[in-house]
């Protein structure tokens, strides 16, 4: 058995509780292990720990505008990974028309977050419609295709050689954040049966990072029925009811939606802002020293960031302090806003993420300087 060293100490001028009633003239920085689940220390600084005047070297905060990426094609495998490691691959797929073939991921489970657009998913398990804001979980080696009502932009998160699971809710119980009863799954309905027509169909199988084309003289989506507890799942962010505390700013781990091998997916959705006078109103400065943090911005006013628009991605590698931008920190201190309206998807990865080569202009190379206080 292994246990973390446990010796809570106090040195100098500190707050009595984390994230609340900070000593006058200080800002708080959390230094933590294991993505907010391990031991942590809270430092109280005279200056914001993000107040660097210059940065040299590759380990820096990054920002990417995926709106500037050209549509790669009408197959998800046309979209190259933007960020990747041994556990997870992150793609942006933009499709203008319905798929004329099936795809299958033999390397891991797939999570599709529908950023824009709507349509219908046909898969081994049946048919279901989808819209913006839907998470769709596809178990490994599921055959599927999309019929579009309008063009789609999809954040694809592959759990490479892993599976998506529900997060442990602990003391708040299994119905907190979202009740499993709200999860939807495909049905063998009239729409599914009507597409079981004679004809040749291709299945593009991605396995071991190689492409295989399997041709059938019939539509492989010809199930007549099924029973079991493995299927495709759908959850919309609008059905997530976030944990809240009016007296304490909860860490991102409280907003965990899915857990996979080596990473988690969290959903930031609209919620009331803390009302207690002494509680922090924006995310606290923190060193998450074991995880790389990725945020995809879906919609709303991203209250802890300046100059971030829907469809952008930020990457904060582990090893340095990050937190709210100066304007956001000042706005939180003034306590003018009463609720957030942002929707964002966060990926916290245990292994460092590699960044793909991107077209010129997609990365905002000045993002590293966005924490500097402007006169």
Is 22 domain-assigned? Answer: no
If one counts the domains in the chain, the total is: 2
Q: How confident is the model over 216-254, as pLDDT tens digits?
A: 999 999 999 999 999 999 999 999 999 988 988 888 888
Contact 294, 353 (CB under 8 A): yes
Based on the fold, state whether residues 160 and 263 are members of the same structural domain. no
What's residue 130's pLDDT?
98
In order of 2, 77, 301, 345, the CA distances from 124 in angstroms are: 43, 19, 38, 27
Based on the fold, state whether residues 133 and 268 are members of the same structural domain. no
Is 15 domain-assigned? Answer: no
Based on the fold, state whether residues 107 and 171 are members of the same structural domain. yes
In order of 19, 49, 133, 280, the CA distances from 335 in angstroms are: 15, 22, 29, 9
Is 127 domain-assigned? Answer: yes
Based on the fold, state whether residues 172 and 273 are members of the same structural domain. no
Does the pLDDT at position 333 exceed 70?
Answer: no
Based on the fold, state whether residues 203 and 297 are members of the same structural domain. no
Based on the fold, state whether residues 209 and 84 are members of the same structural domain. yes
Based on the fold, state whether residues 214 and 313 are members of the same structural domain. no
Is 11 domain-assigned? Answer: no
- The CATH number linked to 45 is 2.60.120.10
Residue of 321, 329, 347, 351 lying closest to 31 (CA atoms): 321
Does the pLDDT at position 209 exceed 80?
Answer: yes
In order of 19, 118, 317, 333, the CA distances from 28 in angstroms are: 7, 43, 20, 13
Q: In the chain, where does DSSP find H-type helix?
A: 190-194, 326-334
Q: State the residue range of the domain holding 338.
A: 27-63+242-369
Neighbouring residues of 165: CB distance < 8 A, sequence distance ≥ 6: 258, 259, 260
Based on the fold, state whether residues 313 and 351 are members of the same structural domain. yes
Neighbouring residues of 227: CB distance < 8 A, sequence distance ≥ 6: none
Is 1 domain-assigned? Answer: no
Is 284 domain-assigned? Answer: yes
Q: Say which range, 3-17, 126-140, 324-338, has the weakest mean pLDDT.
A: 324-338
What's residue 334's pLDDT?
65
Is 375 domain-assigned? Answer: no
Q: How confident is the model over 40-59, as pLDDT tens digits?
A: 889 999 999 988 999 998 88
Based on the fold, state whether residues 139 and 94 are members of the same structural domain. yes
Among 237, 267, 287, which residue terminates a domain? 237
Contact 277, 130 (CB under 8 A): no
Based on the fold, state whether residues 83 and 146 are members of the same structural domain. yes
Based on the fold, state whether residues 165 and 252 are members of the same structural domain. no
Based on the fold, state whether residues 40 and 140 are members of the same structural domain. no
What's residue 7's pLDDT?
75
Among 237, 261, 278, which residue terminates a domain? 237
What's residue 5's pLDDT?
80
CA dist 167 and 260 (Å) reads 9
Is 19 domain-assigned? Answer: no
CA dist 148 and 91 (Å) reads 19
Tell how many helices (H) and how many strands (E) occur in the chain. 2, 21
What's residue 115's pLDDT?
98
How are the residues of the chain apportioned to helix, strand and coil, as percentages rounded to the nearest 5? 10, 40, 55
Among 237, 264, 283, which residue terminates a domain? 237
Q: How confident is the model at residue 17 (pLDDT cuts 50, 70, 90)?
A: confident
């Amino acid at each position: 058995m292994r246990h973390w060293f446990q010796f809570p100490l106090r040195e100098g001028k500190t707050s009595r509780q984390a994230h609340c009633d900070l000593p006058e003239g200080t800002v708080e920085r959390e230094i933590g292990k294991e993505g907010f689940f391990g031991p942590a220390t809270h430092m109280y600084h005279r200056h914001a720990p993000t107040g660097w005047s210059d940065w040299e070297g590759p380990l820096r905060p990054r920002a990417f505008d995926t709106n500037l990426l050209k549509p790669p094609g009408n197959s998800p495998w046309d979209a190259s990974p933007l960020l990747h490691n041994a556990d997870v691959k992150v793609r942006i797929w933009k499709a203008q028309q319905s798929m004329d073939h099936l795809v299958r991921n033999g390397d891991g489970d797939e999570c599709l977050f529908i950023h824009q657009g709507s349509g219908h998913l046909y898969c081994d398990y049946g048919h279901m419609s989808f819209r913006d804001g839907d998470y769709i979980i596809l178990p490994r080696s599921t055959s599927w295709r999309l019929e579009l009502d309008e063009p789609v932009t999809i954040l694809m998160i592959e759990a490479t050689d892993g599976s998506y699971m529900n997060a442990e809710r602990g003391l708040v119980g299994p119905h907190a954040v979202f009740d499993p009863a709200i999860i939807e799954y495909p049905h063998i309905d009239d729409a599914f049966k009507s597409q079981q027509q004679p004809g040749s169909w291709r299945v593009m199988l991605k396995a071991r990072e190689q492409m295989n084309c399997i041709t059938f003289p019939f539509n492989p989506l010809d199930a007549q029925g099924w029973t079991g507890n493995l299927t495709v799942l759908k959850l919309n962010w609008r059905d997530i009811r976030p944990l809240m505390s009016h007296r304490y700013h909860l860490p991102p781990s409280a907003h965990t939606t899915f857990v996979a091998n080596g990473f988690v997916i969290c959903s930031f959705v609209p919620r009331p802002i803390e009302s207690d006078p002494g509680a922090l109103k924006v995310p606290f400065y923190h060193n998450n020293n074991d995880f790389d943090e990725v945020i995809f911005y879906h919609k709303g006013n991203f209250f802890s960031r300046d100059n971030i628009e829907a469809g952008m991605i930020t990457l904060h590698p582990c090893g340095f302090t990050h937190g709210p931008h100066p304007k956001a920190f000042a706005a939180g201190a003034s306590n003018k806003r009463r609720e957030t309206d942002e929707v964002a998807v966060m990926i916290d990865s245990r292994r460092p993420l590699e960044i793909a080569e991107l077209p010129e202009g997609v990365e905002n190379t000045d993002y590293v300087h966005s924490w500097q206080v402007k006169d």
